[in-house]
Amino acid sequence: MDNSKYSFQQDYDVWLQWNVTSVCNLQCEYCFSPAHRNKLVPFLINIKELLSTLKKSEKTFRIGFTGGEPFLVPNFIEACKEITKCHFISVNTNLILNKISEFVNEIDPARVLFIHASLHYEELIKKNLLEKFHKNYQLLKEAGFNIYAEGVAYPGLANMIGEIKHFVESNKIKFEFASFYGKYNNKDYPESYTDEEVNKFNLDEHELKKYNQDNRICNAGCNAAVVFANGNVKSCFQIKDDLGNIYNEIKFKSDTIICSFKKCGCPLNEYDQNLLNKSKS
User: DSSP letter string over 144-169?
Assistant: T--EEEEEEE-GGGGGGHHHHHHHHH
At residue 2, does pLDDT exceed 50? no
Residue 41's pLDDT band (cuts 50, 70, 90): low
> What percent of the chain stands above pLDDT 90?
81
Q: Which of 14, 53, 62, 65 is nearest to 219 (CA)?
A: 14
Q: What average pLDDT does this structure show over 55-66?
A: 96
Q: What is the pLDDT of residue 8?
A: 56
> What percent of the chain stands above pLDDT 70?
93
At residue 39, does pLDDT exceed 70? no
- Which three-class secondary structure state does DSSP give residue 183? strand
For β-strands 14-19 and 249-250, DSSP reports them as unpaired
Q: What is the pLDDT of residue 114?
A: 96
Q: What is the pLDDT of residue 214?
A: 84
Q: What average pLDDT does this structure show over 206-224?
A: 93
C-alpha 49/C-alpha 37 separation (Å) is 28
DSSP 41: P
C-alpha 169/C-alpha 211 separation (Å) is 28
Q: In 10 A of CB 140, how many CB atoms?
A: 24
Record the pTM.
Answer: 0.93
